[in-house]
Amino acid sequence: MNHFELRDGEMFCEDVPLLKVAEAVGTPVYVYSSATLERHFTVLRTALSEAGLRDEAGGPPLIAYAVKANSNLAVLATLARLGAGADTVSEGEIRRALAAGVPPERIVFSGVGKQAGEIRFALETGISEINVESEPEMRLIAQVAQGLGRPARIAFRVNPDVAAGGHAKIATGGADNKFGVSFSEAERLYAEAASDPWLDPIGLTCHIGSQISRLEPMEAAFLRMRELVERLRARGLAVHRLDLGGGLGVPYFNQPEPPTPAAYAAMIAGVMAGLEIGLAFEPGRVIAANAGILLARVLHIHERPEGRRFVVLDAAMNDLIRPAMYDAYHDIRPVRPRPGAAAIADVVGPVCETGDTFTRDRMLPPLEAGDLVAFMSAGAYGASMSSEYNSRLLAPEVLVRGRDWAVVRPRPTYEDMLAREARPPWLD
């Protein structure tokens, strides 16, 4: 079921007409559907449970939502209420997760460059697991843990050296990527950590990339992870948890259909059969992407006599950077479709660089200046990657629930923007 649907010729988010949101809040604006967020989380949890996957205690596996995908507090709180954990990559994200009501024991902390202060904060907070990405990081964690007098629960992020397919900028599981330790390092470091009084190695983790549209690379990576668990156990080392990361792709319009959560879960159940291990997951996109749109207004239609046709929007690459950065495809739909023939256009924003192009040569339904359009599947890596480039104000965020809606991040004012900066004394 889709919670962004046309009703009587205009697009709604759940029971809220998008025209109403645009009128009240202005554009560009991100709009999220609570029902879609909840459904995605629940479908994934059900698929994992029905495939017989469990956590260490025999309960449903930990689903640590990847905060980076959409870190709005209201989005996090919506998921936290359903029992979601949080996969975080900075102190800021840990603080967001806590503020949204995610209990520390459901928070995991990943990332190749964690700083001592962040590690200290994570340990003081009592989060579930720190994912160790390198040997020097392991030493730093041990040192911080000793300083606090509190051993650190760690998992080793292993780089399974598997090509996940998809865009090179979001593949993470190859041996030449910066993420995680190799298999040989993992074996050596796990044994070392097990004999360090300040480290408590609970398991392993891997994450091979994002928007993965085939099960095979994941299956290959997970098999290697299983084999590593078996090798470690054969050496007498305890391995309680395998955190299989995120990465499951979503159906962006016109793109290859990704595997369903049920197929993903069944594949994992097959790979892990008989292993007796607690499983955890770090999904981001699969939960948030199709739960959000970016609503924008057409400023002009610029038709060059020589032939190119540009649809100029009030949204730009600073609001949604995925097309510029990954050549990502986002379906662009009119909020109130007009009768008439489709036509080819380039859709661009007002930012002063050619990269501020959302799409080229796209066949689009009829559009006129003043029309509203929705960038579909913009709930993940949309607002969370936005910036104020060109001194454009950050787009606000709205969360819908049934007939209700609320601004969950207001558009800042220009005064807010300027007030964050200061003049050095010598310029006064």
For ligand LLP, the binding residues (CB under 6 A) are 66, 69, 87, 110, 170, 207, 210-211, 245-248, 282-286, 322, 326, 381, 385
Amino acid at 51: A
* CA 111 to the chain's CA centroid: 14
For 7, other C-beta atoms within 10 Å of its C-beta total: 9
| Residue 11 vs 220, nearer CB to ligand LLP | 220
Q: How far is the CB of 293 from ligand LLP (least distance, A)?
A: 15
Q: How far is the CB of 87 from ligand LLP (least distance, A)?
A: 5
Give the span between the Cα atoms of 320 and 335, in whole angstroms. Answer: 18
Q: How far is the CB of 313 from ligand LLP (least distance, A)?
A: 19
Residues 6 or more apart from 270 whose CB is under 8 A from it?
Answer: none
H-run or E-run covering 1: none
Are the beta carbons of 329 and 404 closer than 8 angstroms?
no
Q: How far is the CB of 280 from ligand LLP (least distance, A)?
A: 11
273, 341, 352, 427: which one is catalytic? 352
* CA 185 to the chain's CA centroid: 28
Backbone angles phi, psi at 64, to 5 degrees: -95, 95
| Residue 21 vs 204, nearer CB to ligand LLP | 204
| Residue 285 vs 297, nearer CB to ligand LLP | 285
Residues 6 or more apart from 30 whose CB is under 8 A from it?
Answer: 292, 293, 294, 295, 378, 379, 382, 383, 395, 396, 397, 398
Helices (H), 180-214: 183-194
Amino acid at 165: G
Please count the residues of the chain. Answer: 428
206 is catalytic: no
Q: How far is the CB of 19 from ligand LLP (least distance, A)?
A: 28
Q: How far is the CB of 408 from ligand LLP (least distance, A)?
A: 20
Q: Which residues pair with 65 in a beta bridge?
A: 86
Are the beta carbons of 329 and 254 closer than 8 angstroms?
yes
| Residue 248 vs 372, nearer CB to ligand LLP | 248
Residues 6 or more apart from 197 whose CB is under 8 A from it?
Answer: 151
Give the span between the Cα atoms of 251 and 253, in whole angstroms. Answer: 6
| Residue 18 vs 324, nearer CB to ligand LLP | 324
* Cα–Cα separations (whole angstroms), residue 139 to 64, 183, 192: 25, 18, 10
How, if at all, do strands 4-7 and 10-13 pair?
antiparallel
* Residue positions annotated with a catalytic role: 352
